[in-house]
Every structure is written in C-alpha cells, then in structure tokens.
Chains A and B, each alone.
Chain A
Amino acid sequence: ETVMTQSPVTLSVSPGETVILSCRASQSISDDLAWYQQKPGQAPRLLIYGASTRDTGIPARFSGSGSGTEFTLTVSSLQSEDSATYYCQEYNNWPAMYTFGQGTKLEIK
C-alpha cells in the first residue's frame, strides 16, 4: 500500500502571496496524483488530476507538478476564498486502491 505524506500540516499566509504544498508518495506512482480542495461542510473539489492537469473551471492560479514520488501544488495570488484543507490522492493502482494524504490546512490571514 502506498502511503501519502503531505506537508506542512497547517500554514497561514497573507493574501496575494504564493504557497507551495507538498505531497510525497512512499513509492513511485508515476503521475497518477490528484489534488482536492475542501471547505468546511462541503465535498472535496477536484483541482488537479494527472499531477498537473487542472479540472474544468479551476483558475490558473492553481498549478500542480511532479512525478514519481514528489509532487507539489502551487497556489499563487492567494485570495481569502482559498482558505481550505487540501488533499492529495494517488490512484496508481486504480480501480483496486486509492490513497489520500492527511491534508494540509491553509489559512489566509
């Protein structure tokens, strides 16, 4: 089973800044990685799939990169509505297994 580790666990940044969230896989998952944004009381919203492809309607401020075991989600020009918890998810062995990271909680000051 692949273990997904996200860092940092929490962070607080100011509007307009750029933040980089990290996700590390315990073994190579090629580019089978997705990023989700979840706000309180809402279902997760897909931001990125295939490590770097934005889903429909996702602003260009959100960008994903990486392959193998190291992945990042970069959010630029941060806005107050970006306050949320962000999860990575690997699906290298779909449909037999999917694994989520533990999440990074992002606060906009």
Chain B
Amino acid sequence: QLQESGPGVVKPSETLSLTCTVSGVSLSSSSYYWGWIRQPPGKGLEWIGNVVWSGVTHYNSSLASRVTISVDTSKNQIYLKMRSVTAADTAVYYCARLPPDRDDSWGQGTLVTVSS
C-alpha cells in the first residue's frame, strides 16, 4: 500500500514537498520503479517522474528543471520536491508503483493547492 503525505497548501514560488510511504513491500528488494503522477482539478493524468531503490531517477522533460524525486529505503519512503510552484501546479498528487503490472498499487492521492 502507498500513502501520500505533505502540506495541502503551498505559496507561489515556494517548494512543494511530498512523501509517499510504502508498506507491504521493501523498496530495497523491489525491481519496480515508484513514481509520482498528478492530476489538476477536472483534468487528466500527468506522469512527473519515478525512482528505483538504487536512487536512479527519470523525469518528465516538461518538469525536469523543477523536480527532484528521491528514495530512502531505510524508511521505505519516496519523496517529491517541486520548486518554484505556481497555480498551475495545483493538483492531486499520487504515488504509484510503475510500470503497470499485476496487483497494481496507487496511493489515494493528496490535494496540493498553490495559493498565497
């Protein structure tokens, strides 16, 4: 199971920071990638990036300059940091196991609103 956590409101130009806690599987023994996906209100899904247990990351090129994804296998957590946020970054942020495969797993999502 995956559970996202973090502030629900972030001010414009500041950094959005989210944590995804993974339970039921050890990140250090998993060959899956663990990713972040977001969904602005009323809109579609956008892949942000993903990380594997060794720390190797891949990012959506449209967001790569502002995003850092990391992993802490000792805590079984993955992290998202997005810098210089604007109102366009207001969205529900999901963490998920990737690629899609048997017994797929997504978090419930957390709404982050960018507002002063």
Residues of A within 8 A of B (CB): 1, 32, 34, 36, 42-46, 49, 53, 55-56, 87, 89, 91, 94-103
Contact = CB atoms under 8 A, between A and B. Distances in A.
Report the contact-size class of chain B (Cβ under 8 Å from the partner).
Answer: 20 to 34
A95 B101 contact: no
Given A94-B33, A95-B33, A95-B58, A56 B46 contact: no
A72 to B, nearest CB: 17
A44 B52 contact: no
A91 B33 CA distance: 12
Interface of B: 33, 35, 44-47, 50, 52, 58, 60-61, 94, 98-104, 106-109
Contacts of A99: 47
- The binding surface of chain A is classed by DSSP as loop
A87 B45 contact: yes
A43 B107 contact: yes
A53 B61 CA distance: 30
Contacts of B50: 95
Contacts of B94: 43-44
26 contacts: A32-B99, A34-B99, A42-B108, A43-B106, A43-B108, A44-B45, A44-B106, A46-B100, A53-B102, A55-B104, A56-B103, A89-B45, A91-B98, A94-B98, A94-B99, A95-B52, A95-B58, A95-B98, A97-B47, A97-B58, A97-B60, A98-B47, A99-B47, A100-B44, A102-B44, A103-B45
